[in-house]
Amino acid sequence: MELPVIDLSSYLSAVSNDRDPRLQSLCADVSRTLSETGALLVKDPRCTVEDNDRFIDMMENYFSAPHEFKIRQERPHLHYQVGVTPERVEVPRSLVDEEMQEKVKEMPEEHRPHVPVGADLKWRYFWRIGDRPSNTKFQELNAEPVIPEGFPEWKETMDSWGYKMTAAIEVVAEMAAIGFGLPKDAFTSLMKLGPHLLAPTGSDLEKYGQVGTVFAGYHYDLNFLTIHGRSRFPGLNIWLRNGQKVEVKVPVGCLLIQTGKQIEWLTGGDCIAGMHEVVATNRTIDAINAAKEQKRSLWRVSSTLFAHIASDAVLKPLGRFAESPLAKKYPLMCAGEYVEQELSVINLNGKK
């Protein structure tokens, strides 16, 4: 199955007239696709190929730096929510969640994920995007950023790409709200001052470039919506709501959006947090060989941003979703409290 591509240009150019029937139809496409598949490809004219390339170039340089240099940016006492998370720290949910393991066993073999045998082999860097609240019960989720030495372009590059991807998510969130029959700002109002994180991963394909190597084990994202730019190496598999496994191919100039647990909460289960994994495939090996011939970096960088609901905002099914039979599965809870619960499971709670 090919994921549909939604061009945001028409919505951006007519944002003051969101009652236009054509825009209403486009918004319905967004909400329906997120509900039915948990994933969406978008084209945002504000997010260019050059922006993505500049970001990935810098992150390749960073991840290829010596281990001793990178761990200077590690902040385990802050739940790893800023700075670098080394490989073999983040534990995939499927490794510790027995209910998830049972569901995996019931899947048809062709749609079953790779079984991780330990913590993820990927590195990650968390960089906060946007303002943080001056008064919050969740200070460690809203910590100051960490800037590595020797990268004078770091802040401008991270902020530029992060703000552009956040802007794309905000548009999709507005369109989804309209499509769901909610107020236009139903989601975006809750995102204000959220702990949004630009979160590129780095996987060393020279060290771990064998077919079947799991870089990020089967898991869902705990945030609201996740957005990815195009990676230079394939390897991302996602699962649609019907259980179908899909190897993602992001067209040049497009962005991939996936549903996280917080939108599942706000829609009372109408949207389900999308499952995914990153593994080395035959297509990954082909890309590795091409990179070697061209003498390019063998670090697989994901251009990823996690958009969050504000830590002190309350998660609960909104509007008509509060009347859903499934709503009782999603009790009122502060978003920050929910995030801390999830982080404790996947070993990002400051304990190694």
pLDDT at 349: 47
Cβ–Cβ under 8 Å, residues 230 and 250: yes
Q: In this predicted structure, what is the pLDDT of residue 352?
A: 36
Angle in degrees, CA 268, 261, 178, rounded to 5: 55
The more confident residue out of 70 and 16 is 70
State the Cα–Cα distance between residues 291 and 61, nearest whole angstrom.
15
pLDDT, mean over the chain:
92
264 pLDDT above the threshold of 80 = yes
pLDDT of residue 80: 86
Mean pLDDT lowest among 77-81, 261-265, 283-287, 334-338: 77-81
Sketch out the chain's domains with CATH numbers: 5-346 (2.60.120.330)
Question: What is the pLDDT, as a whole number, of residue 260?
Answer: 97
Q: Which band of pLDDT confidence, cut at 50, 70 and 90, is reported for residue 196?
A: very high
Torsion of CA 175, 176, 179, 180, to 10 degrees: -150
Query: From CA 47, how far away is CA 164, in angstroms rounded?
Result: 6
Average pLDDT over residues 79-104: 87
Please state, in angstroms and rounded to a whole number, the distance separating the CA atoms of residues 181 and 323.
Answer: 14
Using a pLDDT cut of 90, give the percent of the chain over it: 79
Average pLDDT over every residue of 236-245: 92
Find tokens 């829609």 and name the residue.
267
| pLDDT for residue 17 | 66
pLDDT digits (tens, 9 = 90+) for 102-112: 999 999 999 99
Q: Is the pLDDT of residue 346 over 80?
A: no
Given a cut of 70, whether residue 142 has pLDDT beyond it is no
* More confidently predicted of 172 and 115: 172
| Higher-pLDDT residue of 144, 307 | 307
* Among 7-21, 115-129, 170-184, 281-295, the least confident range: 7-21
CA dist 212 and 278 (Å) reads 10
Distances from the Cα of 68 to the Cα of 152, 319, 338, 348, angstroms: 20, 50, 33, 20
Q: What is the mean pLDDT of residues 45-55?
A: 97
Predicted local distance difference test score (pLDDT) of residue 347? 57
* CB 38, CB 271: distance < 8 Å: yes
Range with top average pLDDT, 91-95, 142-146, 239-243, 263-267: 263-267
Report the range of poorest mean pLDDT among 73-82, 214-223, 310-319.
Answer: 73-82
Confidence at residue 14, expressed as pLDDT on a 0 to 100 scale: 77
